[in-house]
């Protein structure tokens, strides 16, 4: 048998120290790997939280690059999203524009027809009103024709005057029925809105001051519109009554 190698008393302790050191190294390596994984996971979580709309999530250790607007617009929207594809938006807005243009043209045409219809109806109403007045004067025109056709040799002047008076009263009734109103009468207060003073007369008392003394030409009003003011003579009080009770100047 060969000579047996003698083992040093410190060999077991050295082996034990090497074993413990190896175990500590493995534990430290595992802890470092776990810490690196945690750091990488936290980095990914922060990147995903800060990721803006339209950018592709970046991998750990890579810088995220923003996606251009054209690229984001060309990508199809996710189901249930609020983004409308550009082609559909253009088609929808074009259809709405055509509908509004058609409605505008229709309204413009309807308004133009309404305006023309109102003008035509106004002209027809005015024509009918004039025709009614002229129709009321036809009888008076016939009476005047009869007066003109009288034979002076067979009719007296008195009869002619009576006939003309009848025609005049008939004409006045026809015009009054159409809305004509006579303005101006003796004894009423002078009104510059409907009277035109063409002369004055001496008043016999203060109560006669600015009172119509005589109507020289009657005025007329139609439908509330003054056609012609009445030409009148007006009493004027000077403080002393006139000897003859009034006189015209």
Asked if pLDDT for residue 100 goes beyond 90, the answer is yes
Rounded to two decimals, what is the model's pTM?
Answer: 0.50
Tens digit of each residue's pLDDT (9 = 90 or more) over 136-174: 899 999 998 988 888 888 888 888 888 899 999 999 999
By percentage, how much of the chain surpasses pLDDT 90? 44
The pLDDT, as a whole number, for residue 4 is: 46
Q: Do domains 88-178 and 180-249 have the same CATH topology?
A: no
Q: Identify the pLDDT of residue 3.
A: 45
Q: How far apart (Å, rounded) are the C-alpha atoms in residues 187 and 189?
A: 7
Is pLDDT above 50 for 117? Answer: yes
Q: What is the mean pLDDT of residues 87-111?
A: 94
Q: Which fold does the domain 180-249 belong to in CATH?
A: Nucleotide Exchange Factor Grpe; Chain A, domain 2 (2.30.22)
Secondary-structure class of domain 88-178 per CATH: alpha beta
Calpha distance 106→26 (Å, rounded): 88
Mean pLDDT of 174-187: 91
Residue 209 CB coordination number (10 Å): 14
Per-residue pLDDT at 153: 84
Domain boundaries, the chain: 88-178, 180-249
Helix (H) or strand (E) holding 181: strand 180-183
Average pLDDT over residues 210-228: 94
Mean pLDDT of all residues in the chain?
A: 78
Distances from the Cα of 220 to the Cα of 103, 129, 160, 174, 224, angstroms: 52, 19, 27, 14, 10
Rounded Cα–Cα distance for residues 179 and 103 (Å): 46
């Amino acid at each position: 048998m060969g000579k047996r190698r003698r083992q040093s008393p410190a060999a077991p302790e050295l082996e034990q120290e090497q074993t413990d050191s190896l175990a500590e190294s493995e534990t430290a390596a595992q802890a470092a790997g776990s810490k690196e994984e945690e750091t990488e996971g936290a980095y990914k979580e922060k990147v995903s939280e800060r990721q803006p709309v339209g950018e592709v999530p970046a991998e750990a250790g890579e810088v995220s690059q923003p996606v251009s607007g054209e690229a984001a617009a060309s990508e199809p929207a996710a189901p249930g999203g609020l983004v409308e594809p550009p082609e559909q938006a253009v088609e929808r807005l074009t259809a709405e524009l055509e509908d509004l243009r058609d409605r505008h043209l229709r309204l413009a045409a309807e308004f133009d027809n309404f305006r023309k219809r109102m003008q035509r109806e106004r002209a027809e109403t005015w024509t009918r009103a004039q025709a009614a007045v002229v129709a009321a004067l036809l009888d008076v025109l016939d009476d005047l024709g009869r007066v003109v056709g009288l034979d002076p040799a067979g009719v007296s002047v008195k009869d002619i005057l009576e006939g003309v008076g009848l025609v005049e009263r008939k004409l006045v009734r026809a015009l009054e029925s159409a809305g004509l109103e006579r303005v101006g009468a003796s004894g009423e207060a002078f009104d510059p809105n409907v009277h035109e003073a063409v002369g004055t007369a001496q008043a016999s008392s203060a109560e006669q001051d600015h009172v119509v003394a005589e109507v020289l030409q009657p005025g007329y009003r139609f439908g509330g519109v003054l056609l012609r003011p009445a030409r009148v003579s007006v009493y004027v009080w000077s403080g002393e009554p006139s000897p003859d009770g009034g006189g015209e100047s």
